[in-house]
Structure 1
Amino acid sequence: MGVPVVRVVLALACAAQFMVVLDVSVVNVALPAVQDDLGFTDAGLPWVAGAYTLAFAGFLLLGGRLADLAGARRTFLAGLLLFCLPSLVGGLAAAPGVLVAARAAQGIGAAVLAPATLTIITTTIPEGPRRTRALAVWTAVGLVGGASGNLVGGLLTETLSWRWILLVNVPVGLAAAVLARRVPAGRRARARRLDVPGAVAATAGLTLLAFGVLQAESRGWADVRTAGALGGAVALLGALARIETRAADPLLPPRLLRSRGVGLGNVLMLLAGGCFQVPMWYFLTLYMQDVLGLSALETGLGFLPHTLVTMLVGLQVTPRLMRRVDDRALVAAGAAVAAAGFLWQGAAAGLLTQGGGSYVRDVLGPAVLVSVGGGLLNTPLTATVTAGVAGADAGAASGLMNTAKQVGGAVGLAALAAATGTYGAAFLAMSVMLGVMAVASLALPARRDAPDVPRRSGQPNEGSRR
C-alpha cells in the first residue's frame, strides 16, 4: 500500500477516534450551562453523560462484528452518520428528553465507529513497524481525546455555547466522510447473516452492566436496581458465552479468546481501562478543583503534561523500542512506571485533604511518571491483542478491545468511588491494579516488530512471535 493511502487511513481513523473518546468527557464541564438552558432536574442531568456511556458500552461488540460482515469502510461511514446526525440534533435540542435521546443515539454511533477505526488500520496496514507507528498515533490520539475533554468543553462553553460541544462534530464528520472515499473498501466476510441471538445477548448484557455501574455510582452497590441490573447482566453474558460456542458465525468467535495474546491481553486492557480511562480523569479533576482550588479551565490546562508526555513517549520512544524489546516487557515496564506514579499521586493526595498544596509538586511529578508508563504500555498492548487475527475477525477483535477499555473504565470508576473514601486511596488502588498488571503481562506471548521489508503480493509482513 502506498504511503499516501496509509496517511489517509491513519488521519481518518484518528479523527473519528478523537471525536468518539472526546465525547465521553466533553460534556462534564458544560453540565451547569445545559441545566440552566434546558431546565434539567438534578436527577435527570447525569443522563446527559450517562446515556452516551450506556449506549456506547452496550453496542461495542455488535459494532465490531458489523465491520467484519459489511466491510470496515461501509461500517465506518454508517457509524459516522449515526454519530454526527444525533450530534446535530443534540446541539439544537430545546428540551431535556431530546438531548438525552440524542446522546444515546450518539453512543450507538460511537459503538459502531470506534471498532471500525481500528479495523481500518489493522486490515489495510500489514503487521510490522508501519502498523506499529499507526497504532501508536491512534492510541495517543485516543488518550489525548480523553484527557482534553474538560479543556475543550470548557473553552467551547465559555467562548461560544454548550451547544458547540456537540455541533463541532458535524464539520469534523463531514471532513472524515470525504477522506473515507479514498480508503480501500475491503472485503466482506463470507457469512451474510448476523448472529442475532448473540447480538441480543451481548447488547442487552453490556447495556445492563453499564446501567448497573451507573446506578452504583449514585445509589450504591446494595440498591435494588443496581443489583437487579448487574444480576441480569451476568445472566445475559453467561448466555452469550453459551450461544457463541454453538453459533455457526458467532458475534464473538471463541477462537479469538483461545489466543493467549487476545484473551490475556484484553484482561490487561480491562485493568488499564480501570486506571487510565475515566477513573484517572475523574479523580484527578476533582482533586485539582476541590483540593488545589483550580478553576475548570485551569484544571483542563493541568492535564496538558499528561497529554504531551504521553504523546512524546507513545509516538517517538515506544515504536522504536518495539523493534528491540518484547512487547510484554514494554507492557510490564510501563505498568510498573505508571504504578509508581499513582503511588506518588496517592501519597500526595493523602497529605492534602482540605486545600493547599502545589500543582507543580503534587500533580506534575506524578503526571510525568503516569504518562511515561501509559505511553510505554498502550501501543504494545494494542499490537498484542490485534496481532495474528484473521482479517475476517478483525472487527470482532477491535470491538472486544474497545469493550474491555470502556467496561474497565466504567466498572473501575464505580468500584473506586464506592470502595475508597479519599482521592489518595483511589490513586493508591490504581497503583495496586497496575502492579498486578505488570506481573500478569509477563505471561503474554513474546512479540517484537520485524523490520519493514519488500513484500510479495499476498504475503503480509507480520511481526515476529516466539
Structure 2
Amino acid sequence: MGAADRRRALALLACTQFVLILDTSIINVAAPSIGASLDISPAALSWVANAYLVSFGGLLLLSGRAADLLGQRRVFVAGLGVLAAASLLGALSESAALLITARAVQGVGAAMAAAAAFALVLTLFEDGPERHRALGVFAAMAGAGGAAGTVLGGVLTSWLGWESTFALNVVAGVALVLPVPRLLPPGTSGGRGKGFDVPGAVAVTAGLGLLAYAVVNAGEAGWSSTPTLATGAAAVVLLAAFVLIERRVAHPLVPLAVLGRPTLRLANILAALWQMSLFPMFFLVSLYLQAVLGYEPVLGGLALLPLCLVVITVASTADRLIGRFGLRAVMGAGFVLVAVGMAWQSLLSAGGSFVADVLPQSLLLGVALPLVSITANVAATLDTREDEAGLASGLVNTSLQFGSVLGLAVLSGIAAARTDASAAAHDVALTEGFSTAFLVGAVPALVALLLTLRLRLPAPDASAPPEASTAAEHRRAVP
C-alpha cells in the first residue's frame, strides 16, 4: 500500500476507535432515562453499562489472537457487524434482561473490532516515526471519543430518546464496514497448519470475564462481599489453569515466551496504570460539573472539549518528541504531568467554577494523556513480529481495559465512601469525595513513573537493512 492508502486506512481504523471509546461513556448519560423508561432498578441499571465492560475486557485477548489466526480484516468486519446487530437489539429492547444482553453482545463485537483495528495499525505501519504518528491519531481519537460520548449522550437522549444512543452504533457500524474492501488490505490467515488452543481460549476468556465481573461488581457490592470474592477467586483459578495449559499445548493461544519479554510485560503494566489514573477522570469531572456546579449534561460534556483539542494537538507532535528525547523520557514526563494534574484536580471547591477548578487542570492532563498512551503502546509493540500483531493488540487492549475498569471501580468507590463519611452539606460532601478520589488517582501515575525508570527497550537489530535505521533509532532506550 502507498502512503496515501495507509492514511485512508488509518482514518477508518481511528474512526472505529472513536466509536468504541464513545460507547463506553455515552451510556452513562443515557442511563437515568433508560431506568425511568423501562422501570429498571438501580442495581440492574448499573449492568446496562457494566455488561459491556465485562464482555469487552474478557474477549480482547482471544479476539487479538483470532485476528492473527483468522485474518485481521475478517475479524474487524465481523466485530463491527456484531456491534451493529447488538446495537439494533438494544434500541428495540423493552426489558432490562434484553437490554443487558444487547450490551454484553455489544462488548463482544467491540472486543473483536478493537483488537483487529489495533493489529491492522501495527501491520500497516512499521516501527518508527510513521507508527508513532499512527498511534498518536489513535490516542487523539480515543480522547475525543471519551468526551464526545458524554456530549452526544446528553444531546441524543434529550432530543431523540435513549434509544438513539444505540441506533447511533447501527449507523456507525454500517458506515465503517462499507469502505473496508477498498481501504483495508485483505490480509491472510496466519493460522494455516496450526491448531487452535480451545482449552486455553475457554480458560482465559472465562478467567478475564470473571475478573472483569469481580472488579465491576466490587464497585457496587464492595470488595469484601461474597460475590466479589467468589468470582475473583474463580478468575484466579481459571487464569492459573490457562498458564498451565499454555505450557503443555502444541499451539498455545499466548506463547509464554511472549509474556516473558520484559519490555512487553512492563509496557502492558504501564498501559494499565495510566488508564487507572486518567479514565475515571472523565467520569468524575463530569459528575462534579453536573452534581455540584449544576451544569446540564450537554454542557458538562462540552466542558471536556478543550481537553480533547489539547490531546489532538499534542498527539500530532508525539513522534517528533520521541525522536528528539527518546521514548522513555517522553513517557516519564507524561506520567509526571498525570500525577501533577490529578493532584491539582483534587483542589476542588463546592463553590468553584469551571474556569478555576476544572479547565487548567484538564488542559494539563490533556497534554499528559497522549504522551503516556502513545509511548506505552509503542513500547508494548516494539518487540513483536508481524504474525504477533493481533496478540500484541489483544494484550495491550486488555491491559488498558482492565486499567480503566479497575480505576473507575476504585476511584468512584473512594469518592462515594468519602462523601458518605462526611457530615458536611451535600455539595461539600460530594466535593470532598471527588477531591479524595483525584488525589488517590495520582498514585498509579507515580508508581508508573518509578517503573518507567526500569524500562529497557529492545536493542536495534545489528543485521537490520540500512532502510530500517530510522526505525531502529526510535527503538533506542534513553540512557
Give the TM interval when normalised to the shorter protein: over 0.9
Q: 2:440 aligned with 1:432, yes or no?
A: no
The structural deviation recorded for 1:137 is 0.3
Aligned pair partner of 1:415 in 397, 410, 415: 410
Equivalent pair of 1:89/1:99 in contact (CA under 8 Å): yes
Equivalent pair of 1:323/1:449 in contact (CA under 8 Å): no
- 1:444 maps to 455
- 1:63 maps to 63
One-letter code of the match for 1:372? V
The separation in 1 between residues aligned to 2:466 and 2:33, in whole angstroms, is: 56
The separation in 2 between residues aligned to 1:275 and 1:12, in whole angstroms, is: 28
The structural deviation recorded for 1:37 is 2.2
- 1:199 maps to 201
Q: Could you say if the C-alpha distance between residues 99 and 188 of structure 1 is closer, same or farther in structure 2, counting changes exceeding 3 Å?
A: same
Equivalent pair of 2:147/2:302 in contact (CA under 8 Å): no
Q: Could you say if the C-alpha distance between residues 88 and 460 of structure 1 is closer, same or farther in structure 2, counting changes exceeding 3 Å?
A: farther
- 1:234 maps to 236
- 1:314 maps to 315
Q: 2:265 aligned with 1:270, yes or no?
A: no
One-letter code of the match for 1:434? A
- 2:170 maps to 170
- 1:14 maps to 14
- Residues 141-192 of structure 1, C-alpha deviations (whole Å, 9 max, x = no match): 1121122211111111112221111111222222221221021122322454
- Residues 274-319 of structure 1, C-alpha deviations (whole Å, 9 max, x = no match): 1122x1122222222222222211210111121111111112x212
Aligned pair partner of 1:210 in 206, 209, 212: 212
Q: Could you say if the C-alpha distance between residues 455 and 102 of structure 1 is closer, same or farther in structure 2, counting changes exceeding 3 Å?
A: farther
The separation in 1 between residues aligned to 2:466 and 2:12, in whole angstroms, is: 25
Q: Could you say if the C-alpha distance between residues 191 and 114 of structure 1 is closer, same or farther in structure 2, counting changes exceeding 3 Å?
A: farther
- 2:155 maps to 155
The structural deviation recorded for 1:109 is 0.6
- 1:387 maps to 382
- 2:340 maps to 340
- 1:247 maps to 249
- Residue aligned with 2:323, SS: coil
Q: What aligned pairs does 1:85-124 form with structure 2 within 5 A after superposition? A: 85-124=85-124
Equivalent pair of 1:61/1:251 in contact (CA under 8 Å): no
One-letter code of the match for 1:138? F
- Residue aligned with 1:290, SS: helix
- 1:462 maps to 471
The separation in 2 between residues aligned to 1:460 and 1:54, in whole angstroms, is: 42
Equivalent pair of 1:256/1:397 in contact (CA under 8 Å): no
- Residues 334-391 of structure 1, C-alpha deviations (whole Å, 9 max, x = no match): 0101211111111x12xx2xx3111111111111111111122211221111113111
The structural deviation recorded for 1:112 is 0.8
Equivalent pair of 2:129/2:471 in contact (CA under 8 Å): no
The separation in 2 between residues aligned to 1:161 and 1:26, in whole angstroms, is: 13
The separation in 1 between residues aligned to 2:144 and 2:41, in whole angstroms, is: 32
The separation in 2 between residues aligned to 1:147 and 1:198, in whole angstroms, is: 37
The separation in 1 between residues aligned to 2:206 and 2:362, in whole angstroms, is: 37
Equivalent pair of 1:127/1:460 in contact (CA under 8 Å): no
- 1:187 maps to 188
One-letter code of the match for 2:311? T
- 1:301 maps to 302
The separation in 2 between residues aligned to 1:436 and 1:37, in whole angstroms, is: 44
The separation in 2 between residues aligned to 1:144 and 1:448, in whole angstroms, is: 34
One-letter code of the match for 2:84? C
- Residue aligned with 1:28, SS: helix
The separation in 2 between residues aligned to 1:250 and 1:282, in whole angstroms, is: 38
The structural deviation recorded for 1:449 is 11
The structural deviation recorded for 1:220 is 0.6
Unaligned runs of 5+ in 1: none
The structural deviation recorded for 1:39 is 2.4
Unaligned runs of 5+ in 2: 419-432
- 1:284 maps to 285
The separation in 2 between residues aligned to 1:90 and 1:429, in whole angstroms, is: 36
The separation in 2 between residues aligned to 1:238 and 1:288, in whole angstroms, is: 43
- Residues 62-98 of structure 1, C-alpha deviations (whole Å, 9 max, x = no match): 1111000011111101111111111111112222222
One-letter code of the match for 1:314? A
Equivalent pair of 1:126/1:461 in contact (CA under 8 Å): no
One-letter code of the match for 2:378? A
Q: Could you say if the C-alpha distance between residues 230 and 3 of structure 1 is closer, same or farther in structure 2, counting changes exceeding 3 Å?
A: same
The separation in 2 between residues aligned to 1:391 and 1:239, in whole angstroms, is: 28
Normalising by structure 2, what TM-score?
A: 0.91
- 2:39 maps to 39
One-letter code of the match for 1:52? Y
- 1:83 maps to 83
The separation in 1 between residues aligned to 2:68 and 2:106, in whole angstroms, is: 21
- 2:424 maps to none
- Residue aligned with 1:27, SS: helix
The structural deviation recorded for 1:448 is 11
Count of residues in correspondence between the two structures? 455
What is the root-mean-square deviation of aligned Cα atoms in Å?
A: 2.1
